Amino acid sequence: MFLHLHRPGPPLDRFVELVTYYADFQPDHSMERLLPDGAVELIVDLTETPKKLHDSDDPASFRTFRHAWLSGMRHESIVIEAAPGSSMAVIRFRPGGALPFLGFAVDGVTDVVEPLDVVLGARAMALRDRILEAATVPLKMAAVEAWLLERSRGRLEANPVVEYLATRLFAPAGLRIADVVAEVGYSQRHVLGLFQRWVGMAPKQYHRIRRFQQVLHQVTAEVRSDDLAAALALELRGRPATEPDWADVALAHGYYDQSHLARDFRELARVTPSEYVRRYRGLVNYLPIG
């Protein structure tokens, strides 16, 4: 498998966290549970084989997607196909970063996975054509950046209130949402509307997911969250993380108790904390199935 990670420079870096390109993916499992991670992603499939999005309750039931699709912010996990030979480019937007490229409120695609042409129109599919036509990886990344700049139509203006809130809501234990909202000097109603429009969910829901992400990264601390190449190497070696003291983890991240933490694992990952550790194979938000 070939893997390349690209972090755009200014002005896109304020809106796009990462562009991942990989080719010839060879998993040893048939499906993956993708956990909610607080991001909107645009996925471009560079093969002709349709990919499956399975029903989380009935994996035998699925929808198929071809060429490109958009995955919005998620309150729950989803089950995706792990297809051998896959080749994709994935644009991961920062919190609040997708709106200038979508052209509409981001909560319109929350908990939604839809074909890109359905969401943005047929002309958006030119992104895939440009990536395929580019002869080298640097040219493919340049094609992605050029498409994003064209798609923004000069609307690359971030909302500083949303940026501040998104940063503060990924904070240490003991955070009170009401206190953070009060810091920006706007009414709670106004802040809620801004956050829904730009990020895709309410601040409280977003904070819950970000706190859960902090827990995942702590208990899988062997691999940095931004080092996907090292994560892949760990996955290929099949080496699971060490079981932590869950009571200490819960306390460190502001959960009421261990049962409160366990509830988040059941609802967000559909596994117990211990089962997550047993099934972890290097990629924090992907749990192999089958």
pLDDT in tens, 97-131: 999 999 999 999 999 999 999 999 999 999 999 99
Quickly tell me which residue has 């409120």 as its tokens: 105
Quickly tell me which residue has 């601390």 as its tokens: 221
How confident is the model at residue 177, as a pLDDT? Answer: 83
How does DSSP classify residue 243? Answer: P
User: Quick one: how far is CA 133 from the chain centroid?
Assistant: 27
Q: Note the pTM of the prediction, 2 decimals.
A: 0.90
- For 199-258, write each residue's pLDDT tens digit: 999 999 999 999 999 999 999 984 343 445 554 554 444 444 467 899 999 999 989 999
Residue 120 tokens read as: 């943005």
Contact 288/82 with Cβ under 8 angstroms? Answer: yes
Is residue 5's pLDDT more than 80? yes
Contact 159/194 with Cβ under 8 angstroms? Answer: yes
Contact 210/38 with Cβ under 8 angstroms? Answer: yes
CA atoms within 13 A on the CB side of 119: 26
CA atoms within 13 A on the CB side of 28: 6
The CA-CA-CA angle for residues 71, 30, 134, to 5°, reads: 55
Is the backbone peptide bond immediately before 10 cis, with ω within 30 degrees of 0?
no
- For 37-92, write each residue's pLDDT tens digit: 999 999 999 999 999 999 999 999 999 999 999 999 999 999 999 999 999 999 99
Helices (H), 88-157: 99-102, 116-120, 126-133, 137-152
Q: Where are the beta strands (DSSP E) in 26-155?
A: 31-34, 41-45, 51-54, 62-65, 68-71, 78-81, 86-93, 113-115
**Hey, what domains does the chain have and what are their CATH numbers?**
2-152 (2.60.120)
How confident is the model at residue 180, as a pLDDT? Answer: 86
- For 152-185, write each residue's pLDDT tens digit: 998 899 999 999 999 888 766 667 888 888 888 8
Contact 72/106 with Cβ under 8 angstroms? Answer: yes
How confident is the model at residue 281, as a pLDDT? Answer: 87
